[in-house]
């Protein structure tokens, strides 16, 4: 694949640059610093992007997308990062993918528009206290009573649950079946009686994720996505699209951070420092390895191949690149970080730590690659 922009792609890139130049709300970072205004700001920005036609570039037109090649999603992600614009909620693309792949026509018509427009915020309820890496071991139960599923149990680490309107929820409907086959997926409104989301504050002080309790929560029968027992395949679709950083604009953000660190090293006279120079070179190599991996996976999407286990390569490289560059930043800034003179850097460093956990830990990505891509025998 030729990775250079075609004329149409270059025109789209130029259009985006012009649009971002006019439309990024000034001081948006300060606005989202405040948890009180954050959710409303994000919803508003999502609506603005949607009105401008910059959501779901590669989705089929009948589901509200623009029917373009996945390259346009990647360009959107890149230009969002380059312009330092607020990002679209990360889960729109992969939750949408799960809904349009597995949903009935009626569900697609009902749920996809609200996901696209930003009128509803969604969260993803997969992990539980005893089922993270081993999602198939989840225990949250749903029992059919008349025309309703009655849900009892607990989810863990559900990002954004406390501010969400809806949840893509995995539940066990058939405990007598083998564990992968007894799981189903419910499109669950978060405002019904019996749901309690308790925020978990991460090391950066942010309530980004929650534990969620379900106490006799009643969900209409027709809210089951796909068929009864089909939850595992929905989880795999979602995770496959969640694991590749191709559409997230991560690479340009990473490159911008690296450029800033090079400047910082120069300002502090440490460019030739034997502790710094190889670290900068390594960071550059990791960024390039990730960039090329992302491009290779993008070319698979363009040729029509669905996301699969190869997303684990990108997830692994992404986590490693992000954690090492944030670590390098902390090393370069030294006491400034610990004396509170670089709060954004400290926050970025702390936020990098769980990257090797969410979306599936790095150890699990290695297992997937060893067993399902390299076909190595299980130990």
Ligand X SMILES: Cc1cc2nc3c(=O)[nH]c(=O)nc-3n(C[C@H](O)[C@H](O)[C@H](O)COP(=O)(O)OP(=O)(O)OC[C@H]3O[C@@H](n4cnc5c(N)ncnc54)[C@H](O)[C@@H]3O)c2cc1C
Question: Which positions lie near ligand X, rule CB under 6 A?
Answer: 123-127, 132-133, 157-159, 202, 208-209, 354, 357-358, 360-361, 363-364, 367
Q: Which CB, 39 or 299, lies closer to ligand X?
A: 39
Dihedrals phi, psi of 194, to nearest 5 degrees: 100, -5
User: Is 242 one of the annotated active-site residues of the chain?
Assistant: yes
CB of 373 to ligand X, least distance (A): 16
Nearest C-alpha neighbor of 115 from the set 56, 171, 196: 56
Q: Which CB, 156 or 271, lies closer to ligand X?
A: 156
Which helix (H) or strand (E) covers residue 131, if one does? Answer: none
CB of 18 to ligand X, least distance (A): 34
Q: Which of 78, 79, 208, 242 is catalytic?
A: 242
Which helix (H) or strand (E) covers residue 42, if one does? Answer: helix 35-52
Residues 6+ apart with CB under 8 A from 216: 150, 151, 152, 194
Cα separations in angstroms, 144 against 124, 138, 150, 151, 228 = 22, 18, 6, 9, 11
**Cβ atoms 328, 280 nearer than 8 A:** yes
Measured in whole angstroms, the distance separating CA 338 from the mean position of its chain's CA atoms is 30
Query: DSSP letters along 242-277, please?
Result: HH-GGGGTHHHHHHHHHHHHHHHHHHTT-TT-TTTH
Distance CA 94, CA 237 (A): 8
Q: Which CB, 82 or 180, lies closer to ligand X?
A: 180
Residue 257 structure tokens: 């951070």
Catalytic center residues: 242
């Amino acid at each position: 694949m030729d990775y250079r922009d075609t004329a149409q792609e270059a025109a789209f890139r130029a259009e985006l640059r012009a649009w971002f130049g006019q439309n990024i709300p000034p001081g948006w970072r300060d606005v989202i610093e405040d948890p009180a205004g954050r959710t409303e700001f994000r919803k508003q920005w999502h609506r603005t992007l949607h009105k401008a036609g910059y959501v779901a570039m590669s989705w089929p037109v009948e589901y509200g997308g623009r029917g373009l090649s996945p390259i346009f999603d990647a360009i959107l992600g890149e230009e969002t990062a380059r312009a330092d614009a607020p990002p679209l909620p990360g889960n729109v693309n992969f939750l949408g993918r799960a809904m349009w792949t597995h949903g009935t026509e009626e569900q697609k018509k009902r749920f996809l528009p609200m996901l696209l427009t930003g009128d509803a915020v969604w969260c993803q309820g997969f992990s539980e206290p005893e089922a993270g890496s081993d999602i198939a071991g989840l225990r949250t139960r749903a029992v059919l009573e008349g025309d309703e599923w009655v849900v009892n149990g607990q989810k863990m680490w559900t990002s954004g649950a406390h501010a969400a309107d809806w949840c893509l929820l995995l539940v066990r409907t058939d405990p007598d079946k083998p564990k992968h086959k007894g799981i189903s997926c419910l499109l669950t409104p978060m405002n019904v009686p019996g749901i309690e989301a308790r925020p978990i504050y991460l090391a950066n002080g942010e309530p980004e994720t929650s534990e969620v309790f379900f106490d006799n929560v009643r969900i209409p029968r027709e809210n089951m996505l796909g068929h009864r027992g089909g939850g595992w395949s929905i989880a795999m679709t979602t995770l496959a699209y969640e694991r590749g950083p191709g559409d997230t604009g991560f690479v340009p953000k990473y490159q911008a951070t690296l450029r800033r660190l090079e400047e910082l090293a120069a300002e502090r006279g440490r460019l030739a420092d034997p502790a710094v120079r190889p670290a900068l070179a390594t960071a550059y190599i990791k960024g390039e390895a990730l960039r090329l991996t992302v491009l290779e996976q993008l070319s698979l999407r363009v040729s029509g191949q669905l996301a699969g286990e190869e997303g684990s390569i990108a997830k692994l490289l992404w986590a490693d690149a992000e954690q090492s560059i944030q670590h390098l930043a902390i090393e370069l800034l030294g006491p400034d970080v610990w004396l509170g003179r670089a709060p954004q850097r400290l926050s970025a460093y702390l936020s990098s730590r769980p990257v090797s956990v969410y979306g599936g830990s790095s150890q699990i990505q290695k297992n997937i690659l060893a067993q399902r891509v390299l076909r190595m025998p299980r130990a």
